[in-house]
Amino acid sequence: MKGGFSAEEEQLVYGDRLLSNLQIIIIAFLTGIACLIFAAIAGTALFLVPTGPAAPPAEAAAVAVLPATAVVTPLSAATPVATATPAPAFTATPLPQPTAIPTKVVVTTVQPTPTPTRANCINTISGFETSGMITSAEVQDYLRTTLPAGHLENCRVIRYINKPGGVHGQGMAGNFVPGYREINIYTTGEYESATTILDTVIHELGHNVHNNIRLYNYDLDVAWATLYRDSQQDGTFVSDYAGVSKFEDFAESYMAYVRYARILQAVSPPKYEFMRQNVFDGREY
């Protein structure tokens, strides 16, 4: 026992020291090997790294691949996500146009097609010179200055035929042909004069006016038929011939209103008023 330790205790203490020295040797050996390995790795890396400018950091390289107009902004709860705005549509700038040479502009107005009008026989009067009593021009002038223009509408022609007229063995001074809208005046021989010729012309034009009423104003035609029936009861006809039918009554009353107004007014005041108000629009003779 040395230094106060027994032989067993001293052996245990030195034995621990021996084990500690062994550990130191192993560690030193391993450290040396590690140094050699590190030196080898460092040398290899030296040959692998290319010469020249240093590579940018990883973060910088990541930013470099983004488009130049992109802005990287960290998202947060307080920052709303911006909505992408589409790029404005491309608008081509118009090329400058050459300066226009001033010219005179001529505007042509297309006239509308005139609406077809009814025939009017004021300009189709013929043959009266052969009567030796009156000319066609005189008949035309009389009708133009005496009758309303509308009374000659739907009449195609007024002609004088220098021969006696007749139908079914009866003589006649004139006739109105509704199908052809023609008026024919015939010679009456010794009884003929300018007055009788004009009386006949006005009578036949009365048939034309009555026919227009029947075509375009049914109610007025019914009113005239009522006056005709009244005259059948009381005999108020302006002439014997007027009693033949409502058509001849109208034509005779029409002629009397223009040529012999006082006689019609005296014989049948209702027919005179009918003519004045409904046929001649207040015009009196």
Q: Is 53 helix (H, G, I), strand (E, B) or coil?
A: coil
- The whole-number pLDDT of residue 24 equals 63
* Backbone φ and ψ of 282, nearest 5°: 90, -10
pLDDT at 176 over 60: yes
Nearest CA-CA partner of 117 in 165, 168, 145, 152: 152
pLDDT at 14 over 70: no
pLDDT in tens, 74-126: 444 444 444 444 544 545 555 455 444 443 333 334 444 444 457 899 999 99
- The whole-number pLDDT of residue 26 equals 72
pLDDT at 35 over 80: no
**C-alpha span between 211 and 213 (Å, rounded):** 5
| Mean pLDDT in residue range 37-51 | 54
**Tokens of residue 6, six digits:** 């027994």
Higher pLDDT, 249 or 31: 249
**C-alpha span between 183 and 122 (Å, rounded):** 12
- The whole-number pLDDT of residue 218 equals 95
**C-alpha span between 280 and 273 (Å, rounded):** 10
Q: Which residues pair with 125 in a beta bridge?
A: 158
**C-alpha span between 265 and 267 (Å, rounded):** 6
Helix (H) / strand (E) containing 177: strand 174-177
Segment of 18-27, 33-42, 169-178, 276-285 carrying the highest mean pLDDT: 276-285
| Mean pLDDT in residue range 169-178 | 91
Q: Cβ distance 146 to 254 under 8 Å? A: no
Tell me the HSE value of 48 on the side-chain side, using a 13 A CA sphere: 6
pLDDT at 142 over 50: yes
Higher pLDDT, 25 or 59: 25
> What percent of the chain is helix, strand and coil (3-state, nearest 5)?
55, 10, 40
pLDDT in tens, 201-252: 999 999 999 999 999 999 999 999 999 999 999 999 999 999 999 999 999 9
- The whole-number pLDDT of residue 190 equals 85
Predicted TM-score (pTM) of this structure: 0.60
pLDDT at 149 over 60: yes
What long-range pairs does 141-147 form, CB within 8 A, spacing at least 24?
142/198, 143/201, 143/205, 146/258, 146/285, 147/202, 147/205, 147/258
Nearest CA-CA partner of 197 in 243, 142, 237, 145: 142
pLDDT at 180 over 80: yes
**pLDDT interval class at 140 (50, 70, 90):** very high
21: Cα separation from own chain's centroid: 118
* Average pLDDT taken over every residue of the chain: 77
Strand 174-177 relative to strand 165-167, pairing: unpaired
Choose the weakest-confidence range: 51-55, 66-70, 152-156, 267-271.
66-70
